[in-house]
Amino acid sequence: MRWVILDRDGVINEDSATYIKSPEEWIPISGSLEAIAELNRNGYHIAVLTNQAGVARGLIDLATLEHIHAKMRKQIEEHGGRIDAIFFCPHAPEDGCRCRKPQTGLYEQFANQYNVDLDGIPAIGDSLRDIQAAQSVGAEAILVETGNGKKTLKRNPKLDVPTFVNLHEAVQYILFTQG
């Protein structure tokens, strides 16, 4: 099976400095749902690996997070796509867990559950921690300029990873380079 790993906030949907706390606040980035469907049509499975510190901060409970993910899945399905797996870290940065990116725990959980070799798998994110986690496990880190992507580039001008305006452009790169 061929996989693509996606961060959620800032890659698939609009990000928020105050967290996405309800299904109503989950708003897809233009073209992202279609991009996921295009990956699926070309034989790719999609895993979402996402930090969700709002859970640890008491801003959102697990049931609401599941409702947000259900909305995301439904909207993607309406565009002919699907998400095959979602892994999330419910901890705050100060908790020191292994699953919060840039740590590699979410990647390890995904790889173990689906028996996947992470070497070279495209992993698309919008922040330095997404890039660092992907590189730490040998995945092909790809940055998008949506969400925190432009800030990430400005703060890390020597970041040497493929960078694209949005998920749609990143998907075109994956399809061109990996078929």
Annotated active-site residue in 9, 15, 84, 119: 9
Q: Is the dihedral of CA 167, 6, 84, 116 positive or negative?
A: positive
How far apart are alpha carbons 76 and 68 in whole angstroms? 12
Q: Is the dihedral of CA 94, 130, 139, 39 positive or negative?
A: positive
Q: Tokens standing for 59?
A: 């801003």
Q: Specify the length of the chain in residues.
A: 179
Number of domains in the chain: 1
Q: Let me know if 9 is a catalytic residue.
A: yes
- Contact (Cβ atoms closer than 8 angstroms) between residue 164 and residue 145: yes
Main-chain dihedrals φ then ψ at residue 18, nearest 5 degrees: -105, 15
79 is in an annotated binding site: no
Q: Let me know if 61 is a catalytic residue.
A: no
130 is in an annotated binding site: no
pLDDT of residue 63: 97
Instruction: Kindly give, in sequence order, each residue whose CB lies less than 8 Å from that of residue 15, ignoring residues fewer than 6 positions away.
Output: 9, 126, 146, 147, 148
Burial label for 94, CB within 10 Å (0-12, 13-18, 19+), is: exposed
pLDDT of residue 94: 93
61 is in an annotated binding site: no
pLDDT tens across the length of the chain (179 residues): 899 999 999 999 999 999 999 999 999 999 999 999 999 999 999 999 999 999 999 999 999 999 999 999 999 999 999 999 999 999 999 999 999 999 999 999 999 999 999 999 999 999 999 999 999 999 999 999 999 999 999 999 999 999 999 999 999 999 999 86
Please give the model's pTM, rounded to 2 decimal places.
0.96
9 is in an annotated binding site: yes
97 is in an annotated binding site: yes
Cis-peptide into 157, omega within 30 deg:
no
Range(s) of the domain holding residue 44: 2-178
The CATH number covering residue 173 comes to: 3.40.50.1000
pLDDT of residue 1: 87
Q: Could you give the angle at which helices 62-78 and 32-41 cross, rounded to 10 degrees?
A: 70
